[in-house]
C-alpha cells in the first residue's frame, strides 16, 4: 500500500471541520443536539470521523457549561493536523501503513478516507449503500420532501410514482432521501420491489451523477452505471 500524503489527510480533516462548522449554524456554537442531527446525514467512516473529532474537541474544552465554538473547531483542527497527523510522518514522505497504525483513532479514520482517493460523488455513491446493505432499509437516510428535489430528480421521482401506481403491489412507491458526503448534500431517489431496486444520485446542482441497481438478495452490492 502506498504512503498517504499529509495533505490528503489534512483535506479530509478540513472537510470534517467544515461539516461541524456548518452544523453550528449562524451563532457559531455547536450543541450536542446539532451534532446528533448532522450525524444522521452521514454514514460509514465519514460519520465515525465526524463523531470522533467532535468528541475530541468537546474533551479539549471540558469545563462545566462549556460549548464547542467555531473558534474551538479551527484551533482543534490545527492541533490535530500537527499532533495527530504530521507528528507521525517521521521520514517526511507521507504516512506509511505502519505509521498510520500508530495513530489515534482520528488519524486512522482520516487516513482510511484519504486512502480511498474518492471524489465527493464517489463517496456519496459508497454512502448510499446504507440503503441496501446489509438489508434493504429505505429509511436508513433522512427523508427529503419531494418538493425539494431538483427539476430532473422530481421528474424521475414522479415517473417512478406513476410506475408504482400502474404496477400495484409489485413495486413500492419511490422514496426521496438526503445524503451528505464530503460536506456536499446529495439527493437520492430510489424505488424497491420485492427482489430488486433502482437508485439515482443527484449532486448539489441537481444533476444526476450516478444510477445504481441491484437484483436478488438484499445484501447484493449496488451496481453503479
Does some domain include residue 214? yes
Does some domain include residue 80? yes
> How far is the C-alpha of 187 from the C-alpha of 167, rounded, in Å?
25
> How far is the C-alpha of 4 from the C-alpha of 117, rounded, in Å?
10
Does some domain include residue 1? no
pLDDT tier, 126 (very low <50, low <70, confident <90, very high otherwise) = confident
Kindly state the percentage of the chain with pLDDT values over 70: 93
- Domain region containing 24: 6-117
Position 122 scores a pLDDT of 79
Does residue 158 share a domain with residue 208? yes
- DSSP summary character for residue 197: E
Residue-wise pLDDT tens digits, 71-119:
999 999 999 999 999 999 988 888 999 999 999 999 999 999 888 765 7
Q: Is the peptide bond before 134 cis (omega within 30 degrees of 0)?
A: yes
Does residue 160 share a domain with residue 97? no
Does residue 67 share a domain with residue 83? yes
- DSSP summary character for residue 4: B
CA angle 16, 4, 124 (to 5 degrees): 45
How many domains in the chain? 2
Does residue 215 share a domain with residue 129? yes
Does residue 91 share a domain with residue 162? no
Q: Which residues neighbour 221 within 8 Å (Cβ) at sequence distance 6 or greater?
A: 129, 132, 133, 214
Residue-wise pLDDT tens digits, 135-186:
889 999 999 999 999 999 999 999 999 999 999 888 999 999 999 987 889 9
Note whether 195 and 217 are within 8 A (CB). Answer: no
Q: Is 107 exposed, middle or buried (0-12, 13-18, 19+ CB in 10 A)?
A: buried
Does residue 98 share a domain with residue 143? no
Note whether 37 and 50 are within 8 A (CB). Answer: no
> How far is the C-alpha of 16 from the C-alpha of 181, rounded, in Å?
10
Does residue 210 share a domain with residue 166? yes
| Chosen domain end from 87, 117, 147 | 117
Amino acid at each position: 500500500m502506498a504512503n498517504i500524503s499529509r495533505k490528503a489527510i489534512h483535506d479530509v480533516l478540513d472537510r470534517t471541520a467544515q461539516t461541524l462548522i456548518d452544523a453550528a449554524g449562524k451563532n457559531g456554537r455547536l450543541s450536542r443536539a446539532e451534532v446528533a442531527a448532522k450525524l444522521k446525514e452521514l454514514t460509514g467512516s465519514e460519520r465515525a470521523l465526524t463523531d470522533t473529532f467532535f468528541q475530541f474537541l468537546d474533551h479539549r474544552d471540558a469545563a462545566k457549561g462549556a460549548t464547542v465554538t467555531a473558534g474551538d473547531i479551527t484551533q482543534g483542527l490545527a492541533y490535530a493536523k500537527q499532533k495527530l497527523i504530521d507528528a507521525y510522518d517521521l521520514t517526511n514522505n507521507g504516512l506509511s501503513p505502519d505509521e498510520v497504525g500508530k495513530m489515534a483513532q482520528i488519524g486512522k479514520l482520516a487516513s482510511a478516507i484519504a486512502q480511498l482517493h474518492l471524489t465527493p460523488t464517489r463517496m456519496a455513491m459508497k454512502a448510499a449503500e446504507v440503503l441496501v446493505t446489509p438489508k434493504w432499509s429505505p429509511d436508513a437516510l433522512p427523508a427529503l420532501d419531494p418538493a425539494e428535489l431538483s427539476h430532473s430528480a422530481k421528474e424521475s421521482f414522479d415517473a417512478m410514482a406513476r410506475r408504482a401506481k400502474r404496477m400495484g403491489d409489485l413495486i413500492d412507491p419511490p422514496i426521496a432521501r438526503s445524503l451528505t458526503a464530503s460536506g456536499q448534500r446529495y439527493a437520492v431517489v430510489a424505488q424497491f420491489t420485492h427482489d430488486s431496486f433502482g437508485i439515482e444520485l443527484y449532486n448539489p446542482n441537481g444533476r444526476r451523477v450516478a444510477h445504481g441497481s441491484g437484483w436478488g438478495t438484499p445484501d447484493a452490492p449496488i451496481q453503479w452505471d
